[in-house]
Structure 1
Amino acid sequence: MTQTMTGGCQCGRIRYTAQVEPDDAYLCHCKMCRKATGGVSIAFANVPLDKVAWHTEPDWYRSSPIAHRPFCSHCGTPLGFAFLEGGENIDLTVGSFDDPTPFRPRRNYATESMLTAWTDVRHLPGMTSAENPNVVKRWEEAGLQPPE
């Protein structure tokens, strides 16, 4: 079911509204996306271009001969991926949505580049930010609580 959702960059300079299908997100494992985001993969929601309204136009960089990527030049947040020509859709980064919880991954893309050691990490011990005294101290000194 299509939902109207909002998102943007970490510093708040770039904002958007999009009509999305949260049940149809995917993980891209290609080497270019890994380099562009610094992650082991990136979660995307593929959205028709005419269903995205940028409240503030993002910065763009040409990431390859066939594509460019929206981002915020102030805070560095990666916001998506789009083909330079002939693309009717844009991939928006799931993490840039204000509430990414409705999204569900339905497929993996570029599996030839998948870092399989990172595909299932449920067996690893976990810690919340609030359990890290070093982080808590720094946030408290800044007059704030650790973010979720």
Structure 2
Amino acid sequence: MTVSHTGGCRCGSVRFEASVEPHHISYCHCADCRRATGAPVSAFVGFRADAVSFSGEEPQVFGNGPASRSFCGNCGSPIAYVDERLKNQIWFMLGAMDEPANYRPTQHAYVREQLRYVHMPDGLPRYVKSSVERPEMQ
């Protein structure tokens, strides 16, 4: 049986599907994510990139160092985050998933950058920096 996790942009031009279970679901409080999404906190669902396929229009990509963020060129919806240091991984915005309620975050990343007025007393583990180890962060 093939597992299917689907999503896309607001206008429906960009669609994606992952055929494996997510390996990571996390909140991120970093300033870069805030600026990229316009939200005080972001949430991501991580999958193996080789198990993801896109359909419809190709998303546009904005690169910044080892990281790139994709978005719909028509409606501007943020779609995904890729970090070249994290081989074979893609991180979709939780809000881009068709059934976002099915992806409950299990941790918080970059809490040192969390806005003072954002209170999320959920008891989840909190990481001062990233919740995912990157090679040069070891």
- Give % identity: 34
**Hey, what does 2:127 align to over in structure 1?**
none
Question: How far apart are 1:3 and its partner, in Å?
Answer: 3.9
Gaps of 5+ in 1: 122-148
Aligned to 1:87: 87
CA distance in 2, matches of 1:44, 1:107: 11
**Alpha carbons of structure 1 residues 80 and 109: separation in structure 2 relative to 1, 3 Å:** same
Equivalent position SS for 2:50: helix
- Once residues 12 and 59 of structure 1 are traced to their aligned partners in structure 2, the CA distance between those partners, rounded to angstroms, is 14
- Distance between the aligned counterparts of 1:92 and 1:109, measured in 2? 15
Contact 1:23 1:105 in 2 (8 A): no
Partner Cα distance (2:31, 2:77) in 1: 18
Match of 1:58 in 2: 59
Cα offset for 1:86? 5.3
Higher gyration radius (CA): 1
Give ranges in structure 2 of 5+ residues lacking alignment.
122-138
**Cα distance in 2 for residues equivalent to 1:23 and 1:117:** 29
Three-state SS of the structure 1 residue aligned to 2:95 is helix
What displacement does 1:59 show? 1.1
Which of structure 1's runs of 4+ aligned residues deviate more than 6 A?
Answer: none
Does the 8 Å CA contact 1:22/1:102 hold for their aligned counterparts? no
1:19 Cα offset (Å)? 3.0
What's the TM-score, normalizing by structure 1?
A: 0.73
Q: What is the aligned-residue RMSD (CA, Å)?
A: 2.1
Aligned residues: 119
Over 3 Å counting, the alpha-carbon distance change for 1:53 and 1:66 in structure 2 is: same
Is the helix fraction higher in 1 or 2? 1
